[in-house]
Structure 1
Amino acid sequence: MPINQITPQSQIDGYIDERIERLKQAIIYNLCAIGEKVRNEALERGSYTDQTKNLRSSVGYVIVIDGQLYKVSEFGKPDGNNEGKEIGASYAQSLISKFPKGIVLIVVAGMKYAGYVSAKGYNVLDSSELLAEQLVPELLKQLGINK
């Protein structure tokens, strides 16, 4: 660009806003994909016997953007029961207010006894958490965002 040609501030601001919005959309898209992978990990590798199908049915995720619900995943497996699905979705949504800023992936096993089952040594969300801890930094690196 020649020295005597100055780009108006509004064009610069517009360009920056456009780039931020594209990056935001890429993060959201990829967090949805990570949410599905993490959810599937929990459903497939849960090492407990789910006698009532409540615990597995309560596994799912939500995406939150600046304190507002953006996406609610399917909870549990298609053959799961509605009680677990409703409790899981309700629990995930109850956590939204804890994240008033930013883009957040919340993954839950919504039954009250999920922590107890996990403390007994069973994999409820343990391998899912490890998977998320691997995938999210990879996503940020791919997008050129430092953690």
Structure 2
Amino acid sequence: MPIKQLTPMSEIDRYTEQELKRLQTVLIRSLQYCGEQVLNKARSTNSYKDQTGNLRSSLGYVVAVDGRVVYQSDFQTVKQGRDGSEKGAAFAKKLVRRFPHGVCLIVVAGMEYAAHVKNKGYDVLDSSELLADKIVPSMLKQLGFT
């Protein structure tokens, strides 16, 4: 006796699409949480003296889906660092173009001299990167994505 499909294929497709959207929402929110943790770590690091506030203001993150920003952190202005906030947000958006498929978290220090400060031995995003390397895989595993 053959198996007969009673559920219409359109109903199966609708359910599958709905479940994918739900999982994507869970993933985005979880990456936002990770982004906030990593950003807080970066902002609390006091290994360098930020004279203008631009470098610290350029710290932030975005969550992107298929090359489009779906969430952006505040790129909080520190001291007179408005230029840093603008450059950080612009740099993060520029990096999103490198990831046209999938969901990603991008954390940046958007000032052009951030690498120079890092190369002098100061912690701009180093400890934050270590934190991200720890919590993102753990979160993905906990959610069942790996």
Deviation at 1:8, TM superposition (A): 2.0
Contact preservation (8 Å) 1:62, 1:105: yes
Q: How many residues align?
A: 144
CA contact (8 A) 1:43 1:76 kept: no
Deviation at 1:114, TM superposition (A): 0.6
DSSP-derived class of the 1:42 partner = helix
Query: For the residues of structure 2 that align with 1:84 and 1:43, how far apart are their CA atoms?
Result: 13
**In structure 2, what is the equivalent of residue 42 of structure 1?**
42
Question: Alpha carbon RMSD of aligned pairs, Å?
Answer: 1.6
The answer to whether the Cα contact below 8 Å between 2:60 and 2:74 also exists between their aligned partners in 1 is yes
Task: Provide structure 2 residue ranges, at least 5 long, that are not aligned to the other structure.
Answer: none
Q: Residues 5, 90 of structure 1: CA spacing in aligned structure 2 closer, same or farther, 3 A cutoff?
A: closer
Unaligned runs of 5+ in 1: none
The correspondence of residues 1-147 of structure 1 with structure 2, limited to 5 A, is: 6-76=6-76, 79=79, 81-146=81-146
Residue 60 of structure 1 aligns with an amino acid whose one-letter code is G
1:95/1:4 CA distance change after superposition, 3 Å: closer
Q: For each residue in 1:3-54, what CA deviation from the matched residue of structure 2 results, as whole angstroms up to 9, or x when unmatched?
A: 6663222222222212111110000011111111111110001411111111
Partners of 2:111 and 2:32 in 1: CA distance? 22
Displacement of 1:113 in angstroms is: 0.9
Q: Which moved more, 1:75-84 or 1:13-22?
A: 75-84
Moved more, 61-70 or 9-18: 9-18
Please give the TM-score of this superposition, normalised by the length of structure 1.
0.90
- How much has 1:79 moved relative to structure 2? 4.4
Identity of aligned residues (%): 50
Is this contact kept in 1: 2:55–2:81, CA < 8 A? no
